[in-house]
Amino acid sequence: MALNKEQMLDLYRQMRTIREFEETVANFFSQGQIPGFVHLYIGEEAVATGVCANLEKQDYIASTHRGHGHAIARGASVNKMMAEIFGKIDGFCKGKGGSMHIADIELGFLGANGIVGAGLPLATGAGFALKYMKKNGVAICFFGDAASNRGTFHESLNMASIQKLPVVFVNENNGYGISMSQARHQNIKDIADRASAYGMPGVVVDGNDVMAVYEAAEEAVKRARAGGGPILIECKTYRHHGHFEGDPTVYRTDEEVNAWKAKDPLPRFASRLQEMKMATEAEIKQIDLEVKKIIADAVEYAQKSPVPSQDELLTDVYCN
């Protein structure tokens, strides 16, 4: 279905919000104001944005260690996210979980995940529950290229396929698992080829083109919702920053990084909006300004929020 102007501008706003959030986190992390590890989504914004624009309230998504973009695209509060990342009491986990534990069950956001490939069975389980309870929903699983080497990937695709579950497997192929290039960790070019081993369709899309992602996800989500079963969408993309903030990135060349930055999903979509006469440069700048304010407010919210008190030390902690 062709998107109208408002929907197109929403895609841009969503990508800009993720970019501004991530650049802000990078900035505060470099100043030593953020504890723990952060893995940023800069460069990959079109994937989460294009996919999540197709979702409805009853749908679920399972995320990864690089999960801020997925959470924002699903509508999670940037205030609560920022507070969590700053380690503050008003965060999603009262500041005790950090970047890789952000979850919002109300939004069907099953959580970021520090365990590579662990979102795959979670999404498959959510797909099973949706089908069993006849909820007409879909479950989305975002996962990386390296995650596609895990057993959980193969088991989940097999299970989802044989049970005809409403699951859309969204592979974010950014070409690396930490410092190891895809060419060094698997003997195939297209991860989408693996779908055929499980009897489901596999498609490759330009993951830096938000419209291409949107359209592929639209078809996949419709098909899954109508009982057509799972599908694997491979989105070719790239992370501009290192694996984590502080990564010296000695394993890749400046030429490679610059070639991908030339395909940056944000300026690319901004130009396309102008070519299509969907937006003027002034309208785009206005969105950028509005987003800057939203993220600046999120930082203020996070900075004002207290750190958890000592009484919180043993609450929400589970062991047996």
Ligand X SMILES: Cc1ncc(C[n+]2csc(CCOP(=O)(O)OP(=O)(O)O)c2C)c(N)n1
Contacts with Mg ion, residue ranges (CB under 5 A)? 144-145, 174, 176
Nearest-5° angle of CA 38, CA 20, CA 24?
A: 50
Q: What residues have CB less than 8 Å from 41, skipping those under 6 apart?
A: 18, 22, 48, 66, 67, 68, 69, 239
Nearest approach, Cβ of residue 170 and ligand X (Å): 12
Please say whether the beta carbons of 208 and 46 come within 8 A: yes
In this chain, which of 55, 61, 73, 146 binds ligand X, going by CB under 6 A? 146
Residue 147 contacts ligand X per CB under 6 A: yes
Per the listing, tokens 């799972």 go with: 230
Q: Could you give the dihedral angle defined by the CA atoms of residues 281, 289, 64 and 30, in that order, rounded to the nearest 10 degrees?
A: 120
Q: Would you say how long the chain is, in residues?
A: 320
Using the minimum distance from each CB to ligand X, give the nearer residue, 63 or 79.
Answer: 63
Judging by beta carbons within 10 Å of its beta carbon (0-12, 13-18, 19+), is residue 293 exposed, middle or buried?
Answer: exposed
In this chain, which of 3, 89, 107, 178 binds ligand X, going by CB under 6 A? 178
Question: Beta-carbon neighbour count of residue 3 at 10 Å?
Answer: 16
Using the minimum distance from each CB to ligand X, give the nearer residue, 17 or 148.
Answer: 148
Binding mask 65-84 for ligand X (x = CB under 6 A): xx------------------
Binding mask 240-259 for ligand X (x = CB under 6 A): ---x----------------
Nearest approach, Cβ of residue 226 and ligand X (Å): 30
Using the minimum distance from each CB to ligand X, give the nearer residue, 181 or 274.
Answer: 181
In this chain, which of 145, 209, 234, 264 binds ligand X, going by CB under 6 A? 145
Alpha helices in 31-149 (DSSP H): 45-52, 68-73, 78-85, 119-132
Instruction: Tell me how far apart the alpha carbons of residues 22 and 48 are, in angstroms, rounded to a whole number.
Output: 14
User: Kind of pairing, strands 231-236 and 202-206?
Assistant: parallel
Size of the residue set binding ligand X (CB under 6 A): 16
Nearest approach, Cβ of residue 76 and Mg ion (Å): 22
Using the minimum distance from each CB to ligand X, give the nearer residue, 94 or 239.
Answer: 239
Using the minimum distance from each CB to Mg ion, give the nearer residue, 141 or 159.
Answer: 141
Q: Which does 77 bind (CB under 5 to 8 A by kind): ligand X, Mg ion, none?
A: none
Residues that bind ligand X (CB under 6 A): 64-66, 114-116, 144-147, 172, 174, 176-178, 243
